[in-house]
Amino acid sequence: GQNIDQPTEMTATEGAIVQINCTYQTSGFNGLFWYQQHAGEAPTFLSYNVLDGLEEKGRFSSFLSRSKGYSYLLLKELQMKDSASYLCAVRDSNYQLIWGAGTKLIIKP
Amino acid sequence: TAGITQAPTSQILAAGRSMTLRCTQDMRHNAMYWYRQDLGLGLRLIHYSNTAGTTGKGEVPDGYSVSRANTDDFPLTLASAVPSQTSVYFCASSDRAEDTQYFGPGTRLTVL
Per-residue pLDDT band at A38 (split at 50, 70, 90): very high
User: How much of chain A is helix, strand and coil, in % rounded to 5?
Assistant: 5, 55, 40
Do B17 and B81 touch, CB atoms closer than 8 A?
yes
**Please, how many CA atoms are within 13 Å of residue A18, restricted to the half-sphere of its CB?**
22
What are the tens digits of pLDDT across the range B54-67? 999 999 999 999 99
CA distance A105 to chain B (A): 14
Residues of A with CB under 8 A from a CB of B: 4, 30, 33, 41-45, 48, 87, 89, 91, 95-102
* Cβ contact B100–A48 (<8 Å): yes
- C-alpha span between A84 and B108 (Å, rounded): 19
- C-alpha span between B61 and A27 (Å, rounded): 20
CA distance A44 to chain B (A): 7
* Cβ contact B105–A41 (<8 Å): yes
What are the tens digits of pLDDT across the range A57-101? 999 999 999 999 999 999 999 999 999 999 999 999 988 999 999
What are the tens digits of pLDDT across the range B3-40? 999 999 999 999 999 999 999 999 999 999 999 999 98
Q: What residue of B is the nearest CA neighbor of A48?
A: B100
> What residues of A are in contact with residue B103 (Cβ under 8 Å)?
42-44
* Cβ contact B103–A44 (<8 Å): yes
Q: Which of A49, A87, A99, A103 to mutate to test the interface with B (most CBs of B within 10 A)?
A: A99
What are the tens digits of pLDDT across the range B44-55? 999 999 999 999
